[in-house]
């Protein structure tokens, strides 16, 4: 799936990459919650956060929003685990239906399910969007 960024997203990506040295694979702006989510290349998480969180703190001040950083992984299940962190997940199974639709079945306990869903479903919706954009997974089902 080809991702098209708008001018604002491109501006945030350029700023983030220049401040951190980390390579951004995806970016989601959440204007309602004044938050920006960056998906960084596998292995670039340390660069993005910085020693003691110093780099991400500078980025937050520069963009004037909350900043969330997710580490990309080529493995779909690991990527979903990274997105839904800090929720502890028991298992993730990627299944493909007859119509070639991919679905991630995520098993977790009730307290971690609340964390994975987030307030008003914000975490799970972001996870579904990123899983679709990065791994062509059509849905995430929490069990």
CATH code: domain of residue 91: 3.30.300.20
Place of tokens 């929490």: 142
Place of tokens 């919706």: 125
**1 lies in a domain?**
no
E strand intervals along the chain: 24-30, 35-40, 66-71, 91-96, 102-107, 137-142
Mean local confidence (pLDDT), 57-79 = 95
**136 lies in a domain?**
yes
pTM comes to: 0.90
**104 lies in a domain?**
yes
For the stretch 77-135, pLDDT in tens is 999 999 999 999 999 999 998 888 999 999 999 889 999 998 899 999 999 999 999 99
DSSP state letter for 51: G
Of 36 and 3, which is predicted with more confidence? 36
Q: Per-residue pLDDT for 2 more than 80?
A: no
Q: Per-residue pLDDT for 1 more than 70?
A: no
pLDDT of residue 110: 87
**95 lies in a domain?**
yes
% pLDDT > 90, the chain = 82
For 111, the domain range is: 76-142
Q: Per-residue pLDDT for 19 more than 90?
A: yes
């Amino acid at each position: 799936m080809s991702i098209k960024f708008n001018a604002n997203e491109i501006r945030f990506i350029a700023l983030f990459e220049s401040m951190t040295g980390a390579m951004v694979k995806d970016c989601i702006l959440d204007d309602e919650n004044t938050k920006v989510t960056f998906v960084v290349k596998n292995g670039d998480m340390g660069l993005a956060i910085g020693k003691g969180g110093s780099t991400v703190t500078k980025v937050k001040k520069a963009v004037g929003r909350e900043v969330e950083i997710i580490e990309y992984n080529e493995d779909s299940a690991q990527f979903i685990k990274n997105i839904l962190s800090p929720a502890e997940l028991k298992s993730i199974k990627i299944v493909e239906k007859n119509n070639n639709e991919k679905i991630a079945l995520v098993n977790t306990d009730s307290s971690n399910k609340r964390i994975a869903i987030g307030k008003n479903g914000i975490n799970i919706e972001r996870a579904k969007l990123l899983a679709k954009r990065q791994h062509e997974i059509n849905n995430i089902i929490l069990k």
